[in-house]
Structures are given as C-alpha cells and as structure tokens.
C-alpha cells in the first residue's frame, strides 16, 4: 500500500502533514516530493515514470494556477486526488476551480481547499478496493470520530 504525495511548493507541506500522518497510521507507505508542473516539469515526469505501477494513489497539492494535479493525471492511470491550496490572491478559489475543471477523459478527484486530511482519507477509501484490510482501519477511524462527537455532546447535558 503506497501513496505518493506531491506538492508544488514546500510551503504546501503544513496542509499535508495531518493527512500524511493519517495514512501512516493506517499502515500506508507515503512517498513525499516537492515538484512543480511549471518549474521542474522534466523532474516531475521522471518521478511519475519511476513510480508507475508502484503507488496506488497520488495526492497532488497546488495553489494559484494549480496545474500540478491535472498535469500528473494526464501522465498516469493512477488515481489522482487534487488538493487545492489557499493562495494569497483568491483564498484558494482559483486553485479549486483550476483543479475541478479538468477536460473530459483526464479526471482528478478533488477535496476541499487546504484539506489534506480528506485527501488522505479519500486515498485510503480508494485503496480499500485492492487492500480490504484498510476497511477495518477506516471503520475504526470513523467510530473514533463519532465517539468524540458523542463525548462532546455529553458536556452539554
């Protein structure tokens, strides 16, 4: 079980840390890289070629023009989850719109702006198709979330 996490800039890392830790907690190997669709296109393509067939899902985080997830999706059949990153100009709306408006035939699954946790959880959900043992871990994770809400509820009764 392996996920590649690619961010366009080192400044995106804080938005990914929680999700990376979630994946590792589920027993998933995570390979993290900083590669840009615009600044390091050759290195990005070389990396994608090197991981073809060895990763189950790719999470691609990008801000502003946010071309990284789409460029990656155009070069692989591995599922790609786009994580729009909040930028200084449009609060991440520019990134979100860029990622969700992929042309027919080159899909990118997309999660909420700055939500690396949901990107990781979606990656784990996708991997349950190949690794059924992840189902129990995701089920336990959901139960823990529900228990936390119920515990909070008790404080108001």
Q: What are the structural domain ranges in the chain?
A: 2-154
Residue 110: strand pairing partners: 82
Fold of 2-154: Rossmann fold (3.40.50)
Confidence of residue 88 (pLDDT cuts 50, 70, 90): confident
Which tokens go with 36? 């840009």
**Percentage of the chain modeled with pLDDT above 90:** 94
**Mean pLDDT to the nearest integer, 103-116:** 97
**Mean pLDDT to the nearest integer, 98-115:** 96
Q: Give the model's pLDDT for residue 60.
A: 98
Nearest to 110 by CA among 122, 123, 121, 100: 100
Residue 60: strand pairing partners: 6, 82
pLDDT tens digit string along 11-33? 999 999 999 999 999 999 999 99
- Report the chain's mean pLDDT, rounded to a whole number: 96
Residue 58: strand pairing partners: 4, 80
Which tokens go with 141? 């994770």
**Mean pLDDT to the nearest integer, 131-138:** 96
């Amino acid at each position: 079980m392996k996920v590649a996490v690619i961010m366009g800039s080192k400044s995106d890392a804080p938005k990914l840390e929680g999700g990376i830790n979630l994946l590792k907690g589920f027993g998933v190997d995570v390979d993290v890289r900083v590669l840009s669709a615009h600044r390091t296109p050759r290195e990005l393509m070389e990396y994608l070629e090197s991981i073809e067939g060895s990763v189950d899902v790719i999470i691609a985080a990008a801000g502003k023009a946010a071309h990284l997830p789409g460029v990656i999706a155009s070069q692989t059949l591995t599922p790609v989850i786009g994580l729009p990153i909040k930028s200084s100009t449009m609060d991440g709306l520019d990134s979100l719109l860029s990622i969700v408006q992929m042309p027919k035939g080159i899909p990118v699954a997309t999660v909420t702006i700055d939500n690396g946790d949901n990107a990781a959880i979606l990656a784990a959900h996708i991997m349950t198709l190949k690794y059924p043992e992840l189902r129990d871990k995701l089920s336990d994770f959901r139960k823990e979330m529900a228990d936390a809400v119920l515990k909070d509820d008790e404080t108001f009764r």
